[in-house]
Structure 1
């Protein structure tokens, strides 16, 4: 049996995972449960699980520090992260390519079991192809620049841009010698994980990602690329159809789009293209509805999120800045101080967060 460790300080969250998982069918068992990272690491030594399902926010040693320790001392363990939308960017930043997948609360039973199945399949591949795991980080690093470009093109509904990036990725992977089935499995999983993120952020159902990856998909870089192109294109065309043929602009959908993308380089021009309206019209109706123009709404949202993250003193201020979309920490300090009248470090010291 494949052993699974659940890590969450809320017992009801562990109950949900325990109830929804098809453990017997997947040949798995919950071998242990922990309420924080310290207890989880102790159980790692005792029960040697192959899969760890962990929440991000816990007292003491949280999900971030737990994953860092697992990366250092248990590199073969498969990690599944559980988080809410408020933790979304934090989870992405903290995972640093180590997690197999993340589950958004409330947990969907189908998604949970699809993730568990992927973990099982990866464990089986790993056992057949020893030496593959050592290259995991190299593969992830090679994909990072393509992921950034895909986010931009997908959110701007740029089909040609998405196609060009994925084709370039396939060529780059082949040139780098990433052609083993185990490595191509990782490529397919990481890029499907990104697609899942993009779909959820644009309010599209994620059923497409619960497909089986047949062996022929992993037989070459070309086949893996074609597989990904098909799924990206299908979902992007679906999103375009939803947006383009609506009779009326849904401002709540626009607001939700901003709420999910506030940490990215969201511009009025890009949003207008994404919702098939003029930027003048979008700006006008958004301000009439919410009392703020798009730029000010994004700024306020970023500052609210920054203040909330500052309350967790285990998170460096630089990381807080990155989570909400500021790569230049100096600029973040200036914007934050102008907004709140106090520097982020001082606000944290004075306990005003």
Structure 2
């Protein structure tokens, strides 16, 4: 079994990771937990894990220091970084110290298991004495792709272009300069762009992804190419949302379904879709029979009900994952919605 150590000062984040990791299927075992980098280093010496999943912001020895020490003293250990902060400095450290993947909080189960699968592949490649460059490069890009995804969905063009620039400079400083490598960078970022366009109801056929050799002959040219493609598509999305004659309520609904765990308000939704909150509220209720706030609550409650079926997830953790920091308030909302308390529903499901 591949041994895994979890490092995070927040117990509920550790609980989420333990609950959502497909440990048996991946052939992995959690052998310990630590609340800061110093405790993690002590456990690493004792337990010899092959994978370390770590938060970045922690009291005492933080994730940045831990990554640095692992890179210096335990290069065989593969790391997955988790951060609640959409900050390029953390992404830069994750790349520099060769993290396999970079996840943003709240942790998505699919992304967590993909990251663990990536770690497993790297470990298996090392055992077979081969270092697949394409996989290594793909893992380096994972951090930046998370940031690009976040900025694109927030209609933040400046954030997208800045991240692309940071990415290319960081990759160049790490020796990613050959045309074959730059071609992989371009292809992966174009696939991400297609995925983002689909998620935002854009026609991916509008993306002209073809490029000549001159577009990838240098890091500067690759950056310019990607910046042009992302700028064109994001500007189209902004114009579509800002100036279209009719609000696409399916887009609003999809956005809510993808961001239910975040503190999304009616005001934020209205800004994202360039309409007044009064108009959005009126049209949403007219289309779906319930207002924006009620629908967001419905999404959270349905998710919470599903998670309750898994007894390994503490109810406090379920409240956090559903977007409620105050567990007392979560209990009250849940009981009002379903007519039964979370603990009672869990108990009834066991019968």
Q: Give the structure-1-normalised TM-score.
A: 0.52
Measure, in 1, the Cα distance between the counterparts of 2:200 and 2:206: 14
CA separation of 1:95 and 1:301: change in aligned 2, threshold 3 A: same
Structure 1 alignment gaps of length 5 or more: 1-61, 73-88, 100-128
User: How far 1:210 sits from its partner (Å)?
Assistant: 8.5
CA separation of 1:182 and 1:162: change in aligned 2, threshold 3 A: same
User: What SS is found at the alignment partner of 2:254?
Assistant: helix
Measure, in 1, the Cα distance between the counterparts of 2:168 and 2:226: 10
> Which residue in the other structure is 2:232 paired with?
234
CA separation of 1:309 and 1:181: change in aligned 2, threshold 3 A: farther
> Which residue in the other structure is 1:173 paired with?
171
RMSD between aligned residues:
4.9
CA separation of 1:95 and 1:314: change in aligned 2, threshold 3 A: farther
> Which residue in the other structure is 2:190 paired with?
192
CA separation of 1:196 and 1:179: change in aligned 2, threshold 3 A: same
> Which residue in the other structure is 2:133 paired with?
132
User: How far 1:229 sits from its partner (Å)?
Assistant: 1.7
What aligned pairs does 1:1-353 form with structure 2 within 5 A after superposition? 64-65=22-23, 68-69=26-27, 90-96=109-115, 130-132=131-133, 135-136=136-137, 139-140=140-141, 142-143=143-144, 147-148=146-147, 150-180=148-178, 184-185=182-183, 187-207=185-205, 211=209, 216-264=214-262, 266-287=264-285, 289-290=287-288, 292-312=290-310, 326=323, 331=325, 333-341=327-335, 347-351=345-349
User: How far 1:304 sits from its partner (Å)?
Assistant: 0.8
Measure, in 1, the Cα distance between the counterparts of 2:349 and 2:165: 50
Q: Give the structure-2-normalised TM-score.
A: 0.53
- The CA deviation string for residues 298-351 of structure 1, in whole angstroms up to 9 with x for no partner, is 232122123224435677878867865x4xxx8274454232237757644542
Measure, in 1, the Cα distance between the counterparts of 2:159 and 2:197: 17
Measure, in 2, the Cα distance between the counterparts of 1:261 and 1:133: 32
- The CA deviation string for residues 154-213 of structure 1, in whole angstroms up to 9 with x for no partner, is 234333332233223323333444435565455445433442332222112333679456
Structure 2 alignment gaps of length 5 or more: 1-19, 29-49, 51-107, 119-129
